[in-house]
Amino acid sequence: MAVEVGDGAPDFELRDQHGTPVKLSDFRGEKNVVLVFYPLAFSGVCTGELRRIRDEPPTSAGDDVQVLAVSVDSIFALRSWSDQEKFSFPLLSDFWPHGGTAQRYGVFDEGKGVAVRGTFIIDTEGVVRWKIVNAIPDARDIDEYRKALAGL
């Protein structure tokens, strides 16, 4: 079942590229969250998208936005990719149960075993305020994130 705008965002706890647990609910009352699901680390389109987020972070009024990027890669692959690309935001491993969080958000491609390009903007109350889902080969436009965050 897909998560829709206006729904409460399903909480999750995943480990980041350093092995540190990150819970979505830890940002409640503190920051808006840009939750970015992507297929695989080191792939061309994913690298381009996350580099753009790194170089031109999506923000709203102030410093109240946290980017969380999620893939089915292991924390070891994510650490290597993060170190190579100098990503400063958490890369979360949805490795086991395989794609479980992506499934809960309705963005898991069962046939390929990876997430599609789903993005959810979650406000400080934990409500999904905007979303877009692109097919695996179709890059997202970060300017759309900015417009959505400006409306919060």
Catalytic-labelled residue, pool 46, 77, 92, 128: 46
pTM: 0.95
Tell me phi and psi for residue 30, to 5 degrees: -115, -50
Rg (CA), the chain: 14
Residues 20-42 have pLDDT tens digits of: 999 999 999 999 999 999 999 99
Active site residue 46: yes
Indicate the angle between helix axes 44-55 and 75-85, nearest 10 degrees: 60
Across the range 49-67, mean pLDDT stands at: 85
Amino acid making up residue 100: G
As given in the structure block, the two tokens for residue 126 are 């934990």
Residues 84-139 have pLDDT tens digits of: 999 999 999 999 999 999 999 999 999 999 999 999 999 999 999 999 999 999 99
